[in-house]
């Protein structure tokens, strides 16, 4: 598995950065979601998971496709 960062825009307000790093016998995955509110605040959500295979990482990353950060 390559140690690379995937970046993208989910919607008008939510951006995402995903990466997976190899560990001995496992893969450590990180997901960071970012947004701004009113031009004065920044919101960042960080999720981490350790899996046993690269296939688990791809499936976990696809689960963030519908993630959103919304100001209320």
Predicted local confidence at residue 3, as pLDDT? 58
Q: Tokens 């009113």: give the residue.
A: 38
What whole-number distance in Å separates Cα of residue 21 and Cα of residue 3? 5
What domains are defined for the chain? 5-62 (2.20.130)
Predicted local confidence at residue 46, as pLDDT? 96
Query: What's the whole-model pTM score?
Result: 0.79
Low pLDDT (below 70) residues in the chain: 1-3
Predicted local confidence at residue 71, as pLDDT? 75
């Amino acid at each position: 598995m390559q140690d690379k960062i995937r970046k993208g825009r989910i919607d008008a307000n939510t951006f995402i950065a995903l990466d997976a790093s190899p560990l001995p016998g496992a893969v450590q995955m990180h997901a960071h979601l970012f947004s701004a509110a009113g031009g004065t605040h920044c919101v960042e959500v960080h999720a981490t998971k350790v899996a046993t295979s690269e296939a688990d990482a791809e499936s976990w990353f696809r689960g963030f496709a519908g993630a959103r950060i919304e100001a209320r």
